[in-house]
Structure 1
Amino acid sequence: MQPLAYIPSPSQGVWYLGPVPIRAYAIMIIIGIVVAVWLGERRWAAKGGRPGTVIDVAVWAVPFGLVGGRLYHVLTDYQRYFGADGDPMRALEIWEGGLGIWGAVALGAVGAAIGCRTRGVSPLAMADAVAPGIALAQAIGRWGNYWNQELYGRPLDAFWALEIDQDNRPRLADGVTLDPKYADIATYHPTFLYESLWCLGVAVLVIWAGRRFELTHGRAFALYVAGYTVGRFWIESLRIDDAHHILGMRLNSWTSVVVFLAAVAYMYWARNRTGPENVGAAPDGDTPGGAPEKRDGASASGGDDGGGAAGTAKAGKPAEPADDASKDGTPEDDRPEDDRPEDAARDADRPGPAAATEEGEADDVPADDVPADDVPADDVPADDVPADDVPAGDGAADDEAAGVRSVKDGKQG
């Protein structure tokens, strides 16, 4: 059975450059990694992180992810490699396909955590930055299954059905004999295409939701995991390749359910986490000593915002000197009276003796200088008033202040 319109499968998935094989499956994986790193770098820079950090972390995450993905595939399909007719050496043939996304993400996260530790940044902040990039990498990588004609679904008679050559159709348990049920069926559900489009939608969802709801502290990554597992659950139900079943459901379907619940639980648990994240901010050219700059309200060290002059400088405002200290570090109260800025300003504004009226009235001193008869005696002893502030010849004020002090002394006695 073959419909009039369908998606043709490629005639080959490997080419040779001399003795070196160039495999389409590997090319798709590499392109996916490049796209994930590129998008991750842009999102990391938007967080205020140092350029190149995502690449450094990928140096750890990618090898760990490849090993983890292959281990998951081998362990869940161990009969192919360690069964009665299995060949253990085939477990190393990664180019033939077989990378479990669950193992790739799990062990890749371990490698990423190591990379983040070497760079001194938050693994959760890094996970949020690379989450949509990972989804795009999966969308691209699934096309490797197309080139290998593998992981397709049930038979389908539709214009979007995928043609599968007879050599790549399902086999019996011996792995050699063609399954009679599929011998004459040429087109199947293109599950690789379904998952590729689903992952593309998940990437868009994570980017939109991350901006709309300010998802931080690993919540954007958790949204990616939850979104992917929903799609993987229903796509898995279409596949007809060999798989372990538990209670009538494929192992990967159970894994999707468990991982989905874990991702949703984390999103709920971290719903109120909105504090600063350690993104290892790039040095600010205007900050002395290359101190990390602050962006988006988060300090590079992940701590609270600094106060005082330092906090003002980080916010882009000039630092103001403290009220009780001069520029040279000498406390204002310890400086000689003649050197105090407020005394100098006051002396400059005070009229000299020549400005007095012809009658020589000392009562015409400007109000800023506060004549002694207006100063409460309880607050300023007469003998402590600076000579420059008491008008000459105002002996009555001195006598009055002295009298008040005598009365006070008599009361205190």
Structure 2
Amino acid sequence: MELDFSALLLGFQFTSPGPTIVQIGPITIRWYGLLIASAVLIGVSLSQYLAKRRQVNPELISDLSIWLVIGAIPAARIYYVLFEWSEYAQHPERIVAIWQGGIAIHGAIIGGAIAAVIFAKLKNISFWQLADLVAPSLILGQAIGRWGNFFNSEAFGSPTNLPWKLYIPPERRPSSFVNFEYFHPTFLYESVWNLMVFALLLTLFFMAVSGKLRLKVGTLFLVYWVAYSLGRVWIEGLRTDSLMLGDLRIAQLVSLFGIMLGLAGLAWLYVVKRPLPDVVSPYQK
């Protein structure tokens, strides 16, 4: 018997099983919440491990994580609601319904950064040191969290018939694409991109702590910001549900600004040579 692999490939598609894992009476467990909780737990554990390798007290990461959650999640929701205010103004009861989706990573980064700056000041530790330790966990969490978009059938791209197409149920399709069934799985594109950025950051981290590469404190966070933003610029261009400012996609504007800011920060570290210290390797003592 001869198998037609091209037919098998062309027949492949992503289909979401829906946003709910299980519902027991009034209690509903949703994929979105589970993924966010998992990303936080994995991220805290990873950052604690990285802190040990940089000889930073890992208990600081436990304390910082609470600040980050308090700062990031509400800011991510507020950011999203502000740019979709015309919709939420008509349904104000949905503003707090974060389990239905609708958070913006750029809002989370802004809120988390503000919380981290305050925490660093109170604990008398370098913000840049903390940012480096959190950056790999942050991009990994973004890779995990993007699958929440899959289960909610949101954050998808334009119509496509590519082999890895994503089926979107009629009630979730934009009105202009109501007759199309399959769309670009932009959640998958960004998740894969984020995993590649995660691998890059870990490679740089372990090369630095092993003494194979000299890095300034703050480098990992700035590389994260530039690399993530590069991917977001082109992926956002495929999406059908972008937050808009007139005819401009907000995420693309913020990402382009982030690229410029990140590159300026790297120049500040390595060209202007501002006095942030090198990452200390145990092998260099």
Which structure is higher in helix share?
A: 2
Contact 1:225 1:260 in 2 (8 A): yes
Matching residue of 1:250: 249
SS of aligned partner of 1:89: helix
Matching residue of 1:239: 239
CA drift of 1:182 comes to 2.2
* Aligned-partner Cα distance in 2 for 1:91–1:11: 21
Contact 1:125 1:216 in 2 (8 A): no
Matching residue of 1:94: 98
Evaluate the alpha carbon distance shift between residue 12 and residue 275 of structure 1 in structure 2; reply closer, same or farther with a 3 A threshold: closer
What are the residue-to-residue correspondences of 1:271-290 with 2, within 5 Å? Answer: 271=270, 272=273, 273=275, 275=277
> Is it true that 1:130 corresponds to 2:125 in the alignment?
no
One-letter identity of the residue aligned with 1:42: Y
What are the residue-to-residue correspondences of 1:13-412 with 2, within 5 Å? Answer: 13-82=20-89, 86-170=90-174, 179=175, 181-210=176-205, 211=207, 213-241=213-241, 243-246=243-246, 248-271=247-270, 272=273, 273=275, 275=277, 296=282
* Aligned-partner Cα distance in 1 for 2:66–2:283: 29
One-letter identity of the residue aligned with 2:218: G
Evaluate the alpha carbon distance shift between residue 130 and residue 184 of structure 1 in structure 2; reply closer, same or farther with a 3 A threshold: same
CA drift of 1:34 comes to 1.2
| More relative contact order, 1 or 2 (CA 8 Å, 6+ apart) | 2
How many residues get paired? 268
Q: Deviations over 1:193-246 (max 9, x none)?
A: 000011111111112233254333212101000000000000000001153145
* Aligned-partner Cα distance in 1 for 2:243–2:132: 32
SS of aligned partner of 1:162: strand
* Aligned-partner Cα distance in 1 for 2:52–2:189: 32
Kindly, what percent of the aligned residue pairs are identical?
Answer: 32
Query: Which structure has the greater CA radius of gyration?
Result: 1
One-letter identity of the residue aligned with 1:32: A
Structure 1 segments unaligned to the other structure (5+ residues): 171-178, 278-293, 299-314, 316-413
Contact 1:61 1:112 in 2 (8 A): yes
Structure 2 segments unaligned to the other structure (5+ residues): 1-9
Evaluate the alpha carbon distance shift between residue 78 and residue 12 of structure 1 in structure 2; reply closer, same or farther with a 3 A threshold: closer
Contact 1:5 1:158 in 2 (8 A): no
Contact 2:216 2:278 in 1 (8 A): no
SS of aligned partner of 2:95: helix
SS of aligned partner of 1:152: coil
* Aligned-partner Cα distance in 2 for 1:104–1:12: 22
* Aligned-partner Cα distance in 2 for 1:53–1:12: 34
* Aligned-partner Cα distance in 2 for 1:155–1:215: 43
SS of aligned partner of 2:14: coil
* Aligned-partner Cα distance in 1 for 2:214–2:41: 26
Contact 2:71 2:108 in 1 (8 A): yes
* Aligned-partner Cα distance in 1 for 2:278–2:269: 14
Provide TM-score, normalisation by structure 2. 0.87
* Aligned-partner Cα distance in 1 for 2:217–2:283: 14
One-letter identity of the residue aligned with 2:196: G
Evaluate the alpha carbon distance shift between residue 4 and residue 66 of structure 1 in structure 2; reply closer, same or farther with a 3 A threshold: same
Matching residue of 1:342: none
Contact 1:58 1:112 in 2 (8 A): no
